Structure 1
Amino acid sequence: MAGNITAIEGRAVGIQLGLVPVVDVNNNPENPIINTRSFGEDADLVAIFSARYIAGMHAGGMAATAKHFP
């Protein structure tokens, strides 16, 4: 749902491409940056959540770019 809302809101102001989702796996809970933007510590869950976010964006008419993965 979040991806779809992002797309709908973005398209309303003319944005066609989202540089999201961040698909980093939070493998270091002490990292103050990845810790706050990651979908979690489990790579499988990060993959599932990222795929669903992208599907929501596509359903809302916006392209997505997964980023920051090794």
Structure 2
Amino acid sequence: MTETRKYWLDSMLKIVTPLLKALSKDCLKEEMPVESVSPVDERKNYTYLEGFGRVLVGIAPWLAAKKLDEEE
């Protein structure tokens, strides 16, 4: 694996691991703070789903890849 690819893989893991671990323990709402500037707090209802969706979109290339090194 090249250094650039290793960097991207490490960055991806650093970003998605906290969210996926919290989801696996069924405690995402407790571990993921929600910040909003709006006095209406409706974003809080969708923030967790949005985070999971962004994780899936971000890791999709690795999930769809056919030939990966064993390290990946």
- TM-score of the pair, normalised by structure 1: 0.35
Structure with greater proportional helix content: 2
| Structure with higher strand content | 1
Structure with higher Rg: it is: 2
Greater length-normalized contact order (CA 8 Å, ≥ 6 residues apart): 1
